[in-house]
Chains A and B, each alone.
Chain A
Amino acid sequence: MSEQELIRLAQSGDAGAFGRLYESYADPIYAFIYYKTHHRETAEDLTSRVFMKALEHIGSLTPAERAFRPWIYTIARNAVIDHYRTRREHADISDAWDIAGDDDIPRDAELRMRLATVQEYLKQLDPVQRDIVLLRVWQDLPYEQIAAIVGKTPDNCKMIFSRVVRRMRADLAVLLALALIRLHL
Chain B
Amino acid sequence: MNTRSHIEQLLAELYAADPTLREREGVLRPLLQELLASKPDAVMDPAFRELVRQRLLHRARSAAGGQFSWSAFFNMSMNKYIYTVGGAVIAILFAIPILTSLTRPTAELAFTPSIEKSSAERAFGSLKGSTESSYVGGRGGGGGGAPAIDVSATSRPQSGGGGGGVTMPAPEYLMPKFVYGGDLELTDAKVTVLRRTKGNLSQGALSRLVGSFDLGSMLNLKSFPGMSVWSVSLAQDREYGYSVFVDFAEGGVSVMQNWQKWPNPYAACSATNAPNCYENLRIRQEQLPSDGEVIAAADVFLAEHGISRDGYGAPEIMKDWAIAYERASSTERANWYYPEQVMAVYPMVIDGLPVYEEGGQKAGIMVAYDVRAKRITSVTGLMTRQYESSSYEGQTDVAAVRAALARGSWRDYGQMDPNLRSAEVAVGAPQRGWMRTTIPDSIGMGTELLVPALVFPIEQVPSNISIWQQSIVLPLARELYTSQSNGPVMPLIDGPR
Question: A-side interface residues toward B, CB under 8 Å?
Answer: 10, 13-16, 18-19, 22-23, 26-27, 30-31, 34-35, 38, 40, 43-44, 47-48, 51-52, 55, 111, 114-115, 117-118, 133, 136-138, 140, 143, 155, 158-159, 161-163, 165-166, 168-169, 172, 175-176, 178-179, 182
Contacts and interface: CB of A to CB of B under 8 A. Distances in A.
B17 interface: yes
B286 interface: no
Contacts of A117: 34, 38
Interface string B14-48: 10111001001001101111111111111111001
Interface stretch (B59-67, B271-279, B428-436): B59-67
A47 B49 CA distance: 9
Nearest to A173: B27
A15 B16 contact: no
Contacts of A51: 52, 56
Contacts of A182: 34, 37
B35 A18 contact: no
Given A34-B40, A165-B21, A15 B61 contact: yes
B316 interface: no
B318 interface: no
Interface of B: 1, 6, 10, 13-14, 16-18, 21, 24, 27-28, 30-45, 48-49, 52-53, 55-57, 59-61, 63-64, 67-69, 72, 112, 308, 310
Contacts of B36: 137-138
10 contacts: A16-B57, A16-B72, A26-B53, A47-B52, A52-B56, A114-B38, A136-B10, A161-B17, A168-B31, A179-B33
Contacts of B60: 10, 13, 15, 18-19, 55
B34 A161 contact: no
Q: Which has the most chain A C-beta neighbours within 10 Å: B38, B48, B72?
A: B38
Contacts of A15: 56-57, 60-61, 64, 68, 310
A13 B63 CA distance: 8
Contacts of B1: 140
A133 B59 CA distance: 35
Contacts of A159: 17-18
Contact of B24 (A10, A26, A31, A169): A169
A122 B268 CA distance: 69
Nearest to B32: A137
A31 B39 CA distance: 10
B31 A13 contact: no
A166 B18 contact: yes
B38 A118 contact: yes
Nearest to B9: A140
A170 B112 CA distance: 58
A43 B28 contact: no
A13 B32 CA distance: 44
A182 B21 CA distance: 25
A165 B31 CA distance: 8
A10 B68 CA distance: 12
A172 B30 CA distance: 9
A27 B28 CA distance: 29
Nearest to B29: A179
A124 B114 CA distance: 51
Contacts of B13: 143, 158, 161
B44 A118 contact: no
B39 to A, nearest CB: 5
B350 to A, nearest CB: 14
Q: Which has the most chain B C-beta neighbours within 10 Å: A26, A52, A115?
A: A26
A165 B38 contact: no
B112 to A, nearest CB: 8
A15 B55 CA distance: 11
A30 B63 contact: no
Contacts of A19: 53, 56-57, 60, 310
A48 B68 contact: no
Contacts of B112: 16
Given A52-B56, A114-B40, A158-B13, 18 more contacts: A13-B67, A15-B68, A16-B69, A16-B72, A19-B60, A19-B310, A30-B42, A44-B44, A48-B55, A55-B56, A115-B38, A133-B35, A163-B18, A165-B21, A169-B27, A176-B27, A176-B30, A182-B37
Contacts of A35: 40, 42
Contact of B21 (A138, A162, A179): A162
Q: 10 nearest interchain CB pairs?
A: A15-B60, A31-B42, A34-B42, A13-B64, A162-B17, A162-B18, A30-B44, A158-B17, A179-B30, A118-B38
Contact of A175 (B10, B16, B34, B43): B34
Contacts of B67: 13
A23 B57 CA distance: 12
B69 A118 contact: no
A179 to B, nearest CB: 4
B57 to A, nearest CB: 5
Contacts of A31: 40, 42-44
Contacts of B59: 52, 55
Nearest to B38: A118
Nearest to A137: B35
